[in-house]
Amino acid sequence: MKNNYNLKYKELFLRPVSSKDVEMVYPYMSNPEISRDMSWDAHKSKVQTLEYLKSVEEAFKKGSSITWAVFHNKKFTGVFSVIAILRKHRSLIYNRAEIAYWLGPEFQGKGIMTKAGELVLDFAYNELGLDKIVVGHHIGNIGSEKLIKRLGFRFTYMEKNMFMKYGKWIDCDFYEMTKTEWNRKKLKIESFFVSPDKHELLSEIGSKYLENPDGHRFTVVNGIPDLIYPYELSKHDSGVKKFYDARAEVYDKFLPLTFKTHFEDEKKLRKSFIHKLNIKKGSKVLEVACGTGRDSEIIAEMIGSKGELHLQDISYPMLDKCRKRLNKFGMKRTYSMSNACYLPYPDKYFDSVYSFGGLGEFENIEKSLQEMVRVTKTGGKIVVGDESIPPWLRETEFYKILVTTNPQFGVELPINKIPVEARRLNLTWVIGGVFYLIDFEVGEGEPKADFDFDIPGVRGGTYRTRYEGQLEGVSREAKTLAYKAIAKKKVSMFKWLDTIVKKQAMKDLNIK
């Protein structure tokens, strides 16, 4: 065949299914959770799946349908099909088809089918030469409805009692899209930014808007998109935004006083903070709450022209000041007016994330730190810091003088907000000992440990069995006798109890 039917985008790969895919496909086609909304019942044997795959192969050869296996990060996730291809009937030209799809439950909610659908639609319109594609979904199938709308289909009609399944008549909604409509939609260029709530890629619409898959538009002013979420800020965040909007013009005039108060060299100290990021030439760095760019300038110098610097703040005037400060640098850089609790950046994109002087203003510090972890590569560094006088100085006149002018010095150290992914964490008191600086590497999930080796000694067992295998306890007399028995048997308490409990339980349950 002329066309190359393999489709690829980043970690996504699609290829036509074949009869050799039985072992891969059967576990999903035998899953009732998937078949519930499909035209077929869950397969009861691999023979059924093989027959299905053979029919798909045959339809592919005839040109009446194409079914792609969808792989994400080399894992099979589901299928996406173009079916019922109709080229012409007698003297009438149609060039139309229908799409169908299913996705394994464990892969849902990751945007896989949205991107797979875009690849398939573009191929169908511009390689197969189709002019119209239609699609329908059972009313109540919310996931399919959202996907259809994200792909850009236009609602056409609802059909009652479309078919019967499981003894119940099913109503369906139907949609369509022409080739002209698709190619017009394609003119929206994918942005680097993602939606702050669902982390779905945004599309650029000219230079004035970014649009999420649900059709919400974020305005862009002078290259700075307003990606604030929630769309209506809380009273706290609204107050913070207003404060910094009003303070932007005088911010650089008064900020150096903090360093002067504690006899510190501002630039030298800031460089020492940023060195903890372990960045190098070409690094991708995000600065959260960048302000007017006093740290951004140092980061830009360190990553060079081949690096990427992405600047975030909740205040447009502060970002505008930062942008003007960084105009002399040539590296790729973006600016976003957004909420630190809802960062508009893709997962695991940055080598390092930095935020100094803003953390105490975030309404939800814990969520903000979790967001920083989400967008940082595994093994990357995060460095954060802000005002907080340490506990041993809280009764001093030194403390009382500082906190009278700036109540933020009285805020508690947010060490209990650190995400579980933090590894090799360091805490340092800086700027006269009245600011904290926390740096850590980003790991994956909770720390790993070997909980399964046999612990020597009378008790025996492992860390895991001591945690997972706790029972109700026994009388003092029974415990005394048990210790005498294990001494005689020369085994640990774990092995002795584990053997006896299993043996008696199997006997009581009539298990042989």
Residue 3 has pLDDT above 70, yes or no: no
Q: Which of 187, 205, 226 is the last residue of a domain?
A: 187
- Each residue's pLDDT tens digit, 467-508: 999 888 889 999 999 999 999 999 999 999 999 999 999 999
Residue 187 pLDDT = 59
265 and 150 within one domain: no
Residue 464 has pLDDT above 70, yes or no: yes
363: domain CATH number is: 3.40.50.150
Residue 139 has pLDDT above 50, yes or no: yes
121 and 164 within one domain: yes
Looking at the whole model, is its pTM more than 0.85? no
- First-to-last C-alpha distance (Å) of the chain: 59
58: domain CATH number is: 3.40.630.30
142 and 243 within one domain: no
Output helix, strand, coil percentages for the chain, rounded to the nearest 5.
40, 30, 35
* Token pair 């027959």: residue: 51
Residue 1 pLDDT = 41
Which amino acid is located at 97 in the chain?
A
Residues 458, 464, 466, 472: what is their CA dihedral angle, to the nearest 10 degrees?
Answer: -140
Residue 314 lies in a domain: yes
340 and 290 within one domain: yes
Contact criterion met (CB below 8 Å) for 373 and 392: no
113 and 52 within one domain: yes
497 and 387 within one domain: no
261 and 302 within one domain: yes
Residue 185 has pLDDT above 90, yes or no: no
Average pLDDT over residues 201-212: 85
Average pLDDT over residues 130-144: 94
Residue 416 lies in a domain: no
Residue 464 backbone phi and psi in degrees, to 5: -70, -45
Choice among 160-169, 171-180, 184-193, 374-383 with the minimum mean pLDDT: 184-193
348 and 486 within one domain: no
55 and 87 within one domain: yes
Q: Which of 148, 171, 187 is the last residue of a domain?
A: 187
* Token pair 């230079």: residue: 207
Residue 339 backbone phi and psi in degrees, to 5: -95, 130
120 and 40 within one domain: yes
Residue 363 pLDDT = 95
- Each residue's pLDDT tens digit, 317-349: 999 999 999 999 999 999 999 999 999 999 999
Q: Which of 215, 214, 219, 210 is nearest to 190 (CA)?
A: 210
Residue 447 pLDDT = 94
Domain extent, residue 285, equals 235-394+422-442
Residue 309 lies in a domain: yes
Residue 225 lies in a domain: no
Q: Give the pLDDT band (50/70/90) at residue 213.
A: confident
Domains in the chain: how many in total?
3
Average pLDDT over residues 235-242: 96
Q: Which of 262, 330, 259, 254 is nearest to 291 (CA)?
A: 254
For every residue of 155-222, DSSP letters joined together read EEEEEEEEEEETTEEEEEEEEEEEHHHHHHHHTSEEEEEE-TTT-PEEEEETTTEEE-TTS-EEEEET
